């Protein structure tokens, strides 16, 4: 019954994508730029660099209202047909009201329940860990990399590395090798969780680009199961395509989770943190209504530095998370993208800041990305452990306390978030024993040092 | 008057920029000097501010509109005085095959156009032979390719290989950029230049035009 209702909605969305108002994409972008700026002013939304986790509930709620207004005015743009999927307020409200407050991810003893979290919620956040789109070496290194996450007791879900090559063949989008990569990635993810002794663990994605190729990853035997999920991307900003809607159609009938992936650009079309925040709320709502998404990955991208752990980014993430947590059951997952690389204390400090901010703001977690995703094999399970543990430690903390911590914590790294200056660290192979996928002493010592610094500021891991 | 031109661009006020351009001409300012030391100086400041995130893309777009409004008045005057005074370098730019992300490419395109380049923006997911054909058609000096996807980076390598195969490599300056692209990778595939962001892309393009002379 649920699937049929979703199919009706997909038919409706497809019809709108085919018959909605026609508009050139550049004109849609210009309208978004203009109206975002105006709506920010109309709703009195203002960024305050000294209050990283906003405490003004009226402004938090206005961000939600402004985001809904932006979506209602602009609609969701279909790049394939150059038509706008127009939405109405009643249907947005209906979807918001109908969303569940918890999902069971994975299967059996390895499954985890991800809850809709609220502001200052004591419920620990769930983490979807993995290389989050960063290039990874194929074969055993890939399996061991994913295993490095899966064998961390605090990690709840893995997935989402991008392969550089498959069978030595450099992967190009839209080629047979991309389709093979999708199947292979899913199989390797299953191998990794099995080796870690958690065969029912949720797999959150396979990171190939073509929506058509992603379908190849779905297989109950040696691929992604209905208890797993995949990301379906939105294009920047507030855009989709028929190929993405088609992927969703197949995923819904297969029964797996649809994760709405948003990569809003802070400093891009929607402007600064205020505009980016309302545009991001609009993208969450579009994902819920048009994608039938179960949860929403917020991968905020700084236009210059590609990360989301500076003051601008954390404020934006927090106010988006809070506005959704206070006004809906949309589960937002903060995709923590950092400037520094593995083996660097700075990466752990960025992950800690992200974990605290997102947790207090009512979000769940994903990560970590490092070095803006530019460097192959620059990712390990240790930084994901930090993100999760910081989130757990901050669960139930009030916003004032968390801001007190962040005010002392951010100056430890924010002077280095410029992607051209941030320390790049080392590769997974340099920081781990490959045979057991265990971190070396150097990396573990740095982790212990950073959690000691956090404890001194009142956050005990 | 030059300051007024620069400030009109920085503030993104197209009406003020057009007014400042008219005032410059009636005040006897050499139009080429007005463009170079007025408008271009303002746009350079905007590019640097964007690079430091003191301003955001909407402000850059407004600055570019102001620049356009003033150039519509100053360029004809400069050409009238000396028809060879304004020679724009031609750039064919696109998000390369397999990738439909175009905001990065749009930013570079916008900043290069505002800094005096003649831009042929082919859009996104553009096959490499279409980029080369367009560059041949318009006799471009630069081909600039962008991508956000690691799975489209090989097409940049393919483009350079195809240019070599067709004996055209020396004819164009090749610039690459985008999320996963690094300077080291650009060098490894034989590209001439790479920019971390739009502002750097403009600087690199100027520098390459001086250093690498396309045949």
Q: What is the CATH number of the domain that holds B66?
A: 1.10.1240.10
- Read out DSSP for A25-83? HHHHHHHHHHHHHHHHHHTT----TT-SS---HHHHHHHHHHHHHHHHHH-EEETTTTE
Residues A236, B197: C-beta atoms closer than 8 Å: no
Average of per-residue pLDDT across B49-66: 92
Instruction: Check CB contact under 8 Å for B53 and A236.
Output: no
Interface of B with A in 107-166 (CB under 8 A): 107, 149-152, 154-155
Backbone angles phi, psi at A405, to 5 degrees: -65, -50
CA Rg value for chain A? 20
pLDDT, residue B80, reads: 84
Do A142 and A136 touch, CB atoms closer than 8 A?
Answer: yes
CA-based nearest residue in chain B for residue A178: B151
Is the Cβ of B98 closer than 8 Å to some Cβ of chain A? yes
Check whether residue B159 and residue B58 sit in a common domain: no
- Contact assessment for residue A101 and residue A116, using Cβ atoms and an 8 Å cutoff: yes
Q: Are residues B132 and B155 in the same domain?
A: yes
pLDDT tens figures, A217-253: 999 988 999 999 999 999 999 999 999 999 999 999 9
Phi, psi of B89 (to 5 degrees): -75, 140
User: What is the reported pLDDT for B212?
Assistant: 77
* Residue of chain B nearest A267, judged by CA positions: B56
CA angle A215, A125, A188 (to 5 degrees): 35
Domain end among B62, B81, B100:
B81
Residue pairs spanning A and B at CB distance below 8 A? 79
> Do residue A374 and residue B197 have CB atoms under 8 angstroms apart?
no
pLDDT of A244: 96
Q: Work out the number of other CB atoms within 10 angstroms of the CB of residue A210.
A: 18
Tens-digit pLDDT profile for residues A351-406: 999 999 999 999 999 989 999 888 999 999 999 999 999 999 999 999 999 999 99
- Give the C-alpha separation, A269 to A275, whole Å: 9
In chain B, the residue whose alpha carbon lies closest to the alpha carbon of A419 is B196
For residue A236, give the nearest of B58, B98, B103 by CB distance. B103
Q: Are B75 and B35 in contact (CB under 8 A)?
A: yes
Does A372 contact chain B (CB < 8 Å)?
A: yes
In a shared domain, residues B70 and B171: no
Please answer yes or no on whether B182 and A375 come within 8 Å at the CB atom: yes
pLDDT at position A433 over 80: yes
Cβ–Cβ < 8 Å for A394, A355: yes
Nearest alpha carbon to residue A400 among A458, A342, A320, A450: A458
Report the pLDDT value the prediction gives residue B114, as an integer from 0 to 100. Answer: 87
CB atoms within 10 A of CB A49: 11
Specify whether B58 is located in the same domain as B142. Answer: no
Q: How confident is the model at residue B11 (pLDDT cuts 50, 70, 90)?
A: very high
Among the candidates B12, B47, B81, a domain finishes at: B81
- DSSP strand pairing (A135-136 vs A162-163): parallel
State the virtual CA torsion across A206, A209, A211, A215 in degrees, nearest 10: -30
Residues B150, B61: one domain? no
Same structural domain, B118 and B172: yes
A401-420 burial, b at 16+ Cβ within 10 Å, e below that, comes to bbbebbeebbebbbebbbbe
Residue of B99, B182, B197 lying closest to A374 (CB–CB): B182
Backbone region of residue A158 per phi and psi (left: phi > 0; alpha: psi in -120 to 50; beta: other values)? beta
> Which residue from A422, A418, A426, A322 is spatially nearest to A380, judged by alpha carbons?
A426
**Mean pLDDT throughout B52-80?**
92
Interface test with B, best of A137, A267, A273, A379 (most B CBs within 10 A): A267
pLDDT per residue over A118-164, tens digit each? 999 999 999 999 988 788 999 999 999 999 999 999 999 998 778 98
pLDDT score recorded for residue A440: 97
- A250 interfaces chain B, CB cutoff of 8 Å: no
- Which pLDDT value is given to residue B84? 66
Handedness of CA A73, A77, A81, A86 (dihedral sign): negative
- Please list the residues that pair with B150 across neighbouring strands: none
Domain CATH number, residue B135 = 3.40.50.280
Q: Tell me what pLDDT residue B82 has.
A: 74
In chain A, residues with a C-beta closer than 8 Å to the C-beta of B101 are 235-236
Parallel, antiparallel, or unpaired for β A76-78 and A239-240? parallel
pLDDT of residue A265: 95
Question: A267–B100: do the CB atoms touch at under 8 Å?
Answer: no
Give B-chain residues touching A312 at CB under 8 angstroms.
53
- Predicted pLDDT at A2: 47
Tell me the domains of chain A and their CATH numbers: 102-456 (3.20.20.460)
> Is residue B77 located within the same domain as residue B95?
no
- Shared domain for B97 and B74, answered yes or no, is no
Q: Are residues B185 and B117 in the same domain?
A: yes
Chain A residues with CB under 8 Å of B98 CB are 172-174, 209
B161-204 pLDDT, tens per residue? 999 999 999 999 999 999 889 999 999 999 999 988 888 999 99
First to last CA, chain A: 44
pLDDT at position B199, please? 86
* Residue B61 and residue B105 share a domain: no
Number of domains comprising chain B = 2
The whole-number pLDDT of residue A442 equals: 97
Write down the pLDDT at residue A314: 98
> Do B110 and B9 share a structural domain?
no
CB nearest to B56's CB, from A170, A272, A419: A272
* A271 CB within 8 Å of a chain B CB: yes
Exposure b/e, A11-20, CB count within 10 A at least 16 = b: eebbebbeeb
> At residue A1, does pLDDT exceed 60?
no
Q: Mean pLDDT score of chain A, rounded to an integer?
A: 95
For the record, the structure tokens of B169 come out as 């490599």
> Would you call A170 and B154 a contact, using CB atoms and an 8 Å cutoff?
yes
Judge if B167 and B74 occupy the same domain.
Answer: no
Domain boundary among B81, B101, B133: B81
The pLDDT tens digits for B112-171 are 998 889 999 999 999 999 999 999 999 999 999 999 888 899 999 999 999 999 999 999
**ipTM computed for the complex:** 0.89
Residue range(s) defining the domain that contains residue B13 = 2-81
What are the structure tokens assigned to A313, written together? Answer: 């980014």
A56-106, pLDDT tens digit by residue?
Answer: 999 999 999 999 999 999 999 999 999 999 999 999 999 988 999 999 999
**Shortest Cα distance, chain B CAs vs residue A238, angstroms:** 13
User: For the residues A244-269, what does the mean pLDDT come to?
Assistant: 96
Question: How close does chain A come to B133, measured CA to CA in Å?
Answer: 22
Contact status, residue B140 vs residue B159, Cβ threshold 8 Å? no
**A100: distance to nearest CA of chain B, Å?**
32
């Amino acid at each position: 019954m649920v699937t049929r209702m979703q199919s009706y909605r997909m038919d409706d969305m497809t019809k709108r994508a085919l018959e909605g108002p026609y508009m050139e994409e550049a004109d849609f972008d210009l309208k978004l730029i203009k109206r975002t700026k105006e709506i920010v002013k109309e709703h009195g939304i203002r960024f305050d660099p000294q209050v990283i986790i906003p405490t003004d509930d009226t402004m938090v709620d206005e961000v939600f209202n402004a985001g809904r207004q932006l979506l209602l005015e602009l609609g969701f743009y279909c790049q394939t047909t150059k038509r706008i999927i127009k939405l109405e307020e009643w249907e947005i409200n209906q979807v918001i009201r109908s969303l569940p407050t918890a999902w069971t991810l994975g299967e059996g003893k390895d499954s985890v329940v991800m809850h809709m979290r609220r502001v200052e919620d004591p419920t620990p956040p769930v983490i979807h860990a993995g290389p989050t789109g960063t290039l990874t070496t194929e074969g055993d290194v890939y399996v061991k990399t994913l295993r490095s996450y899966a064998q961390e007791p605090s990690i709840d879900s893995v997935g989402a590395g991008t392969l550089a090559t498959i069978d030595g063949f450099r992967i190009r989008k839209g080629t047979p090798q991309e389709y093979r990569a999708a199947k292979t990635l899913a199989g390797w993810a299953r191998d990794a969780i099995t080796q870690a002794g958690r065969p029912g663990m949720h797999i959150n994605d396979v990171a190939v680009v073509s929506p058509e190729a992603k379908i190849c990853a779905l297989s109950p035997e040696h691929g992604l199961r209905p208890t797993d999920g995949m990301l379906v991307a939105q294009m920047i900003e507030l855009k989709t395509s028929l190929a993405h809607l088609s992927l969703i159609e197949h995923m819904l009938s297969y029964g797996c989770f649809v994760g709405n992936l948003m990569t809003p650009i802070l400093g891009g079309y929607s402007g600064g943190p205020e505009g980016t925040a309302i545009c991001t709320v609009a993208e969450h709502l579009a994902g819920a209504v048009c994608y039938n998404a179960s949860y929403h990955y917020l991968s905020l991208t700084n236009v210059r530095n590609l990360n989301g752990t500076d003051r601008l980014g954390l404020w934006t993430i927090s106010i988006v998370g809070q506005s959704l947590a206070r006004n809906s059951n949309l589960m937002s997952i903060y995709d923590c993208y950092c400037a520094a690389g593995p083996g660097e204390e700075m990466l752990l400090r960025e992950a800690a800041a992200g974990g605290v901010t997102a947790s207090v703001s009512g979000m769940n977690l994903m990560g970590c990305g490092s070095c803006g995703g530019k460097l192959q094999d620059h990712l390990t399970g240790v930084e994901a452990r930090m993100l999760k543990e910081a989130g757990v430690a901050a669960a139930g903390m009030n916003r004032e306390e968390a801001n007190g911590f962040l005010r002392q914590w951010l100056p430890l790294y924010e002077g280095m978030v410029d992607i051209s200056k941030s320390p790049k660290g080392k590769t997974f192979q340099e920081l781990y024993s490959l045979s057991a996928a265990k971190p070396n002493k150097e990396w573990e010592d740095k982790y212990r040092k950073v959690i000691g610094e956090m404890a001194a500021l009142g956050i005990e891991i | 008057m030059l300051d007024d031109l620069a400030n009109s661009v920085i503030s993104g006020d197209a009406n003020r920029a057009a007014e400042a351009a008219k005032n410059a001409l009636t005040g006897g300012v050499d139009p080429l000097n007005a463009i170079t030391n007025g408008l271009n100086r303002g746009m350079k400041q905007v590019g640097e501010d964007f690079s430091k995130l003191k301003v955001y893309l909407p402000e850059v777009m407004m600055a570019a509109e102001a620049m356009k409004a003033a150039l519509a008045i100053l360029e004809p005057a400069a050409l009238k005085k000396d028809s060879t005074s304004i020679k724009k370098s031609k750039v064919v730019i696109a998000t390369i095959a397999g990738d439909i992300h175009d905001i990065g490419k749009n930013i570079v395109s916008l900043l290069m156009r505002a800094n005096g380049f003649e831009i042929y923006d082919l859009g996104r997911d553009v096959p490499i032979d279409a980029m080369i054909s367009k560059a041949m058609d318009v006799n471009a000096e630069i081909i600039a390719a962008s991508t956000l996807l690691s799975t489209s980076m090989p097409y940049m390598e393919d483009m350079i290989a195809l240019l070599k195969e067709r004996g055209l490599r020396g004819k164009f300056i090749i610039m690459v950029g985008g999320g996963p692209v690094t300077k080291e990778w650009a060098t490894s595939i034989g590209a001439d230049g790479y920019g971390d962001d739009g502002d750097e892309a403009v600087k690199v393009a100027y520098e390459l035009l001086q250093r690498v002379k396309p045949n």
